[in-house]
Amino acid sequence: MNTTGNTIFITGGGSGIGRGLAEAFHKLGNKVIIGGRRESVLAATAAANPGMEFIVFDAASPESITAGTAELTQRFPTLNVVINNAGVQWQHNFATQAVLDETSVASEIDTNILGILRVSAAFLPHLKQQPAATIVNLTSGLAFTPMAVYPVYCATKAFVHSFTMSLRHQLRETSVRVIELAPPWVATDLAAAQPEQAEHGDMKPLPLADFTTAAMAALATDGEELPIANAQFLHDSSVAPQATKVFAMINGAH
């Protein structure tokens, strides 16, 4: 994608990976608007990056998405990039739990799956009017090879990988390109609220700055499925080399 000259909305842009991407795009001169649930976090990030804007936006709430989309497209008519970054992750152990933790399962599905479907659908009528637009969906290396302590999270990311392929295909004759960005394990707050850290074998989290540099370099290419750093081997061990050909074969021109 073209990484300059855009007006970009990033969900979950107040902290973590979203903030890293927001600041990198901001430094390149793009107009950047960040969204999230905690106003104080958004305000601090915007204050540290003069010219960056923010909106309180809950990607798990249909009402918030409807209101936020209306406000953003009205305030920023040139908005042409939406980065679906907001995500949550919880551990579940079906071997030991007495009951399903409905609240955390619902938050993973509402944010990681329904949030991306709703945000994409809400912005598409506007994006299709732009001469060049992009949707970037954040998945994970764990979309391709799950880590079993996060069984629902990994399945939500596999969902988004599959959905992103179909969305890209359906939009191929519009002005909207669709990119999947799959991070490896990155040092953020994502797993901070977990009862205990998962065992990651020999793997270490990538520092956020290193991830951001690698992700921006990948986004600046023509690539559409972008596993970053350690996410590459998790991707390659699951996605067969002929997968793109088979996808084209069963989809044809439909």
Nearer to ligand NAP, 165 or 234 (CB): 234
**Residues of span 6-45 touching ligand NAP by CB under 6 A:** 11-12, 14-18, 35-38, 41
Closest CB 25 distance from ligand NAP, rounded Å: 15
Rounded least distance, CB 246 to ligand NAP, Å: 26
Using CA atoms, how far apart are residues 231 and 229, in angstroms rounded to an integer? Answer: 5
CB of 111 to ligand NAP, least distance (A): 4
d(CA 58, CA 65) in angstroms, rounded, equals 7
Classified as helix, coil or strand, 69 is helix
Write each residue from 196 to 215 as x if it is in contact with ligand NAP (CB under 6 A), else as -, in one continuous string: --------------------
> In the set 87, 92, 123, 133, which binds ligand NAP (CB under 6 A)?
87
Q: Within the chain, where are the H helices? A: 16-27, 39-48, 62-75, 102-108, 115-127, 151-170, 208-219, 231-236, 243-251
- DSSP symbols for 32-47: EEEEES-HHHHHHHHH
**Strands (DSSP E) along 24-131, which ranges?**
31-36, 53-56, 81-84
- Which CB atom, from 46 or from 190, has the smaller least distance to ligand NAP? 190
Residues 63-82 that bind ligand NAP (CB under 6 A): none
- Which element (helix H / strand E) includes 166? helix 151-170
Between residues 56 and 132, which has the closer beta carbon with respect to ligand NAP?
A: 56
In the block, which residue shows the tokens 């044809």?
252
Residues serving a catalytic function are: 153
Residue 58 binding ligand NAP, by CB under 6 A: yes
Binding residue for ligand NAP, selected from 6, 69, 80, 85, defined by CB under 6 A: 85
Least Cβ distance, residue 132 to ligand NAP (angstroms) = 24
- 199 DSSP assignment: P
